[in-house]
Chain A
Amino acid sequence: MAHTTDVRDTYAHKLGNNRWGLWLFIISDAAVFIGLFITRFILLPGQRPELDQTIGLIVTVMLLASSFFMYRAEVHMRHGNLKAFQRSILTTLILGVIFLLGVVAVEWQIAHFGPADGQEGAIFYVMTGFHAFHVLTGVVLLYWVYNNSKRGVYTKEQHWGVEAAAVYWHFIDVVWIFFYPALYLIGTVA
């Protein structure tokens, strides 16, 4: 009896802990975005900032597509198809970078207002800035996961890193599904 294995020391149980931790973190992180979302409608009720619709549509499509490839990557990993996994995760990563460039290097530069120009500027830059920062951390995470997969860290049975990166990436995507209409579609141009 002295050496009964404690269920809490098993891999399966620790994986469960990790999932709890990640989802609690996402609930907490979502609170920031909810706060920003509310702020946007309080400060600019019935209006929206004047933005380039084409760029907005392009980056949104890029991010949604990246989530698809992230899903593919996870499925490939579950099937033990390492090459296809790496291809998919690299595609996700590149699409994420395109999104980042589209927002920060294009949309921020061509916008008619700077951060200091009224509520439009304040809201647009704080919402896209916060989201872009999360995308950036997601891209870094994907890069680490990609690198570790080349080192053979993940197997088809044990790949918590892949799963965590995927859940986080989908979360970032869901946030944008709320932010895109809030910034680009709802209300009349201010």
Chain B
Amino acid sequence: MTIIRRREFLAGAGALSAAAAFGLPARAAGSLTAAIYPGTWEEAYRNVVAPALKKDYSVDIAFDSLFAVDQVAKVRAARGVPPFDCFVLDPGPAAAAMQAGLFEPIDASKLSNAGKVPKGLVTSHAVTCNAQVVGIAYNPKKFATPPKSWADLFKSPYVERLGLTGFQTTFGTVSLIEIAKAFGGGIDNIEPAFKALKEAASKVAAIAAPAALPGLFQQGQIDVMYGNTNTVAILKGRGVDIAYIAPESGSITFQTTLHIVKGAENVDAAYKYIDTAISAPIQDALQKAPYNMVPINTDTKLDPALDIKSLDELSKMVTHDWTKINPVRAAWIERFNKEITK
């Protein structure tokens, strides 16, 4: 019974070496590896950015699909031998990665499109590639009057149909900060948000992992949630009854940024990639269905599906200081675990 036949052994060894071969990254001349968020982002960047990069600069790009926090974790774990050349990050992880010294500085003169991006969106270590707008999403077929403010979410009939998520994601964190503000708190005093969450916990339709919310909305498990316009536009595009509404206190906005990883091998190709991503034709293609990403290039004419009239509107929206949020976020997450779980 313990005798291994030669053929079986060879098959096993063959499978092992095949697996090893697949694991090797492609590092030809004029190529780079960029981290990208799974889902729409990966789809968009593979279908829109990659072909343009190949056509304009003959640079080959490989994508490593990872959430922001996973990208930072992977680069930290690699300790100086980065597994990819470019990050795409939300402000929280970006601030943490900046503090940990994981970025190469950005030389704006190497980006031909840097001038087309509003001031402040190209910084010493980051290039904004897209803005995100966060507010309230609801099912217009289920509610005659939409929830108008963050506080409304915790009132009947909305609270019974609400889908909640915690502080793991950027949109969840900023929404909960706004909820705290609606009940008299803020970044420095998150207490009111927890009070509202605890009272609502037994009534709400779901308290879910952030990635599960769109699916739950689509399946009718929840009819109200907080989320970004991008998610709303995608669900709408797939025939889901969903509408976006800016809360009375204003929509929240934050930027998604591209960065070159400290010690990256393909810095020149990385600049070409970033330059392509922020160019007007690409930004225009990315704002259209099914991607619906809010553009940051001033030459781009805004698509009506995005629920934003002009890029100037972004500067009037609510923003948050992540250098203040990051130090307390771990404690908020732990508290959410302990107080909201059953």
Interaction A to B: no
